Amino acid sequence: MARYTSLYRSGILPVTHLRQCLSEMLESCNFAVIYEDSDYLVARERPGGVAFSKLVTVEVLFGNPGSLETSSGEDALHMDVVVKNEELPLSANNHCRQQFNLVTQVVSSRHGLQLIECVA
């Protein structure tokens, strides 16, 4: 199973606004949000472009905004993104890695997210 993770800290509060921004970004990357909760979001790649076993799932876990502070003392929201599929990562440039790079690029380039930190 291929699995890639990234960690973000955002200055956007509350989490509902960040979750909506992230849902829109995933929709633009050919993902459909299949589950949404107050602190968790799951999106699945739309079928048709690749074999079923290569379809990618994105899971996002939002952390408690009160538990993290930036160096300036402002609240920050923790966001853990996991991109995975059932494909064995036999090559470095597999489909899951390509989708992970796409999601990371879209999230990192979105100025409206007010990203404070990004670790991929």
Nearest to 11, CA basis, from 119, 117, 89 = 117
| Range(s) of the domain holding residue 66 | 2-119
Nearest to 7, CA basis, from 77, 57, 58, 79 = 79
**pLDDT for the residue 115:** 79
Rounded to whole angstroms, what are the CA distances from 68 to 2, 7, 86, 104?
Answer: 30, 13, 33, 22
The CATH number of the domain where 8 resides is what?
3.30.310.80
Number of domains composing the chain: 1
**pLDDT for the residue 70:** 47
**pLDDT for the residue 73:** 54
Query: What pTM, to 2 d.p., does this model score?
Result: 0.85
**pLDDT for the residue 6:** 93
Residue ranges, the chain, pLDDT below 70: 64-74
Query: Max Cα separation, the chain?
Result: 47
111 by Cβ neighbours in 10 Å (0-12 / 13-18 / 19+) ranks as exposed
